[in-house]
């Protein structure tokens, strides 16, 4: 079995009793979540929400980049989201990393590439919230809040 056939077989089982066919495109909770790609984080589980409740935007670091702002704008304009939770986490791979280190592991020269490493976790989350609050794409009526998720305790802490 290849990794792909294993995943496809699991999907056959899932689709056989698919429970989400009636969901609306707009998130029920009016919520968007921005968080890291870290495999230890299940945004729905940690927030007690379900499929259909939120738009979830993930990238390395859970950072509010230009593309995340684009997605949040679409999420608000077309899907009616009004709340944005930005969730950083402890032991993030980008925390304390450097562009040179990432480039070296890739066998590349750092060149122009910015992998967006950060030195201070809480400051990184605050900066992401600030980017949402000051974005020209997003109305001031959107409420954004920052959190740090502890991957050892499962606890979410407001920052
Ligand atoms: Zn991370």
pLDDT value of position 1: 78
Q: How far is the CA of 37 from the centre of ligand 1 (A)?
A: 6
Whole-number Å distance, alpha carbon 1 to ligand 1 midpoint, is: 30
Inform me whether the pLDDT recorded for 112 exceeds 90: no
Summary mean pLDDT of the chain: 96
- Tens of pLDDT, residue by residue over 83-103, are 999 999 999 999 999 999 999
- Cα 158 to ligand 1 centre (Å): 17
With 70 as the cut, is the pLDDT of residue 55 above it?
yes
pLDDT value at residue 107: 86
Residue 90 near residue 36, CB atoms below 8 Å: no
> What is the C-alpha to C-alpha distance for residues 72 and 82, in angstroms, rounded to an integer?
10
pLDDT computed for residue 17 by the predictor: 98
Which residues, 6 or more positions from 106, have their beta carbon under 8 angstroms from its beta carbon?
Answer: none
* pLDDT tens-digit map of 10-29: 999 999 999 999 999 999 99
Task: Please report which confidence band the pLDDT of residue 75 belongs to, taking 50, 70 and 90 as the band edges.
Answer: very high
Q: Determine the pLDDT at residue 116.
A: 97
Rounded to the nearest angstrom, the distance between the alpha carbon of 96 and the centre of ligand 1 is: 11
């Amino acid at each position: 079995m290849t990794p792909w056939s294993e995943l496809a077989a699991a999907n056959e089982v899932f689709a056989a009793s698919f429970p989400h066919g009636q969901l609306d495109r707009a998130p029920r909770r009016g919520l968007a979540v921005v968080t890291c790609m870290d495999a230890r984080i299940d945004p729905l589980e940690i927030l007690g929400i379900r499929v259909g409740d939120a738009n979830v935007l993930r990238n390395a670091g859970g950072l509010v980049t230009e593309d995340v702002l684009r997605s949040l704008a679409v999420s608000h304009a077309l899907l009616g989201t009004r709340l944005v939770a930005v969730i950083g986490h402890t032991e993030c791979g980008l925390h304390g990393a450097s562009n040179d280190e990432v480039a070296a592991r890739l066998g590349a020269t750092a060149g122009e590439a910015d992998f967006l490493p950060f030195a201070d976790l809480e400051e990184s989350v605050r900066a992401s919230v600030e980017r949402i609050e000051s974005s020209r794409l997003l109305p001031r009526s959107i409420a954004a809040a920052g959190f740090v998720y502890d991957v050892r305790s499962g606890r979410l802490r407001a920052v």
